[in-house]
Amino acid sequence: MKTGSGLRRKLALGYAVFGGLIALKIVEYFVGTRIHSGGWAYLAILAIVSSWLVLYFFMHIYQLRSGRKDHD
């Protein structure tokens, strides 16, 4: 079982990552609507970064490589 402070840290990290994803989506919107030539490269980079954040922090992809069997 997680302690109170450990759980608070994980929740704070989750909220920070969620806020970062929102910021990335806002940047993606402005890049997609304002830059007409060559904007696809910026959009691809932003999509890769946001996908990695979702995979790592919310889908816990790192647990597949470490072999951990415990659940949070």
Which pLDDT does position 71 carry in this prediction? 58
**HSE on the CB side for 51, CA within 13 Å?**
6
3-state SS class at 41: helix
First to last CA, the chain: 8
Portion of the chain with pLDDT greater than 70, in percent: 86
Q: What is the pLDDT of residues 24-56, one digit of tens each?
A: 999 999 999 998 888 889 999 999 999 999 988
Which pLDDT does position 5 carry in this prediction? 84
Which pLDDT does position 68 carry in this prediction? 62
55 or 70, greater pLDDT: 55
